[in-house]
Amino acid sequence: MKKIKSMFEKHDLFKIILLAVLVTIVLTWIIPYGQIASGTFTSEGLARQGLSDILLSGVYSGSLFIQQLIFVLFIGIFYGVLSHVSGYKALVNKIADKVKGKEKAFVIVSSLLVALLTSILSQAYVAIIFIPFIINIASKLKLDKITTFLCSFGSMIVGILGATYGTDGLTSFIYYLNYYQAITITEEVAIRFGILALTYVLYTFFTLQHMNKVSKKDEKVEDIYVVEEGKSKKVRIWPMIVLLSIVFIFMILGYVNWSENFNVDVFTKFHTWLTELKIGEFNVVSYILGANAKALGTWDLYTITIVMSLVLLLSVIIYRVNFDEIVDSALEGIKKIIKPVVLLIMVYSVFVFVYWCPFTATICNWITSFAEGFNPFLATISASVSAFFHIDFGYAGYVLGDILTTTYGEFFNVGVLIYSTMNGLIQFIAPTSIFLVLGLSYLDIPYKTWMKHIWKFALIMLVFLVIIFVLLTYA
């Protein structure tokens, strides 16, 4: 037992993810995969994954999720350069000075903002944009690592658990369910808002409780994008505030699905008008924007990087950063974010193995078979298994959509709610959780340390959720 414990003391996050990958591979040798059609499960036999598949899975995970990986790398470039811009340094230091002594208020507000953004934005990854900014300030306030994680990456998971109008996972999940039964993201949205509020309140309680227990011995956060004290106090910060505000505004405009969620089509109409605008016989605006330009509310991750690139360019021009320093800072920024990216590729490889051998359909069908019709307890277990292995929540709708429609019957909406919320809850503890892994790696927090902190919250939240599921089913 001591040998096993010591084995996980160093690089425990890497090892626990590797263990999850190995467990997934072993399961492909034990559990046959299959398909579910019209409530009937058909086994396709075993699809054992071998050595060549292990090597290939990394390539596939990199290619399937290239958009997300490039986005994280670009975040590294963005803050690698910004951390050397005098206006940004002055802004961070000024905010830190303003909130010094009000650390709890800073944590509460930051956590709420991140959770709400993640909950409503169509792309969860977009919420990462301002997290290094929050961490920059937290570092100046000398907050400990766990507190910093709680008000940044951890709050993203709160938003995923209480997804309301947002997250790409929920959107994709519902998209695939529509192949079986019509459903929109607005169904049960009031209950999801309630769950978001409940989760945030309980999460904040545990966060403040942790802050009250923090001692001088607790390890302070070490910011990978260190913002040093500015050499001159006369640096103008208003241009930086304007530039970062532009990014924030486009986050909201570009990643809230105005048309489908709120029946607001003004941005779609504006996009059509703008791209069809001609000077003479030429669609000049369309040529400038490019063939892949999308209307506000339907942006992908690549689009916001264009806005951030322009903001970064204006920042270095306004604050006169020399070219060599820009290149050095950008390369250093990439270097510092490489470790989280490598771990993300490993996590995504779990999805690849399940994609090649969807044994989760077998497991979830077996769990469901223990009861006739819908059972909230079995649905919760099934949703937990799905959340651990599928990584991409949308894939759960693709693989298990038939179960929800044919087996859950009149409780279809409750089943969707269970899968949605459990997808979030499991991400607080699973080594296959994208934003958990990204945050722990970014802040250099051991997985074991995180689990010691979060297990009580996760257990209590599970009890609350099961009570809600039971009331919706039997009340």
Beta bridge partners of 34: 43
How far apart are alpha carbons 233 and 93 in whole angstroms? 10
- What would the DSSP string read from start to end of 313-354? HHHHHHTT--HHHHHHHHHHHHHHHHHHHHHHHHHHHHHHHH
User: Per-residue confidence of the chain (475 residues) as pLDDT tens digits?
Assistant: 455 455 456 678 999 999 999 999 999 999 999 887 777 788 888 889 988 888 888 888 888 899 999 999 999 999 999 999 999 999 999 999 999 999 999 999 999 999 999 999 999 999 999 999 999 999 999 999 999 999 999 999 999 999 898 888 888 999 888 888 888 888 889 999 999 999 999 999 999 999 999 876 666 777 777 777 755 568 899 999 999 999 999 999 999 999 888 888 898 888 888 877 777 777 777 777 777 778 898 899 999 999 999 999 999 999 999 999 999 999 999 999 999 999 999 999 999 999 999 999 999 999 988 988 899 999 999 999 999 999 999 999 999 988 888 888 889 999 999 999 999 999 999 999 999 999 999 999 999 999 999 999 999 999 999 999 999 999 7
Residue 247 CB partners (closer than 8 Å, separation 6+):
129, 304, 307, 308, 311
How far apart are alpha carbons 439 and 376 in whole angstroms? 31
Return the domain boundaries, the chain.
12-33+49-257+297-454, 258-296
Beta bridge partners of 35: 42
Report yes or no: 187 and 413 within 8 Å, Cβ to Cβ: yes
pTM comes to 0.92
Element spanning 300, H or E: none
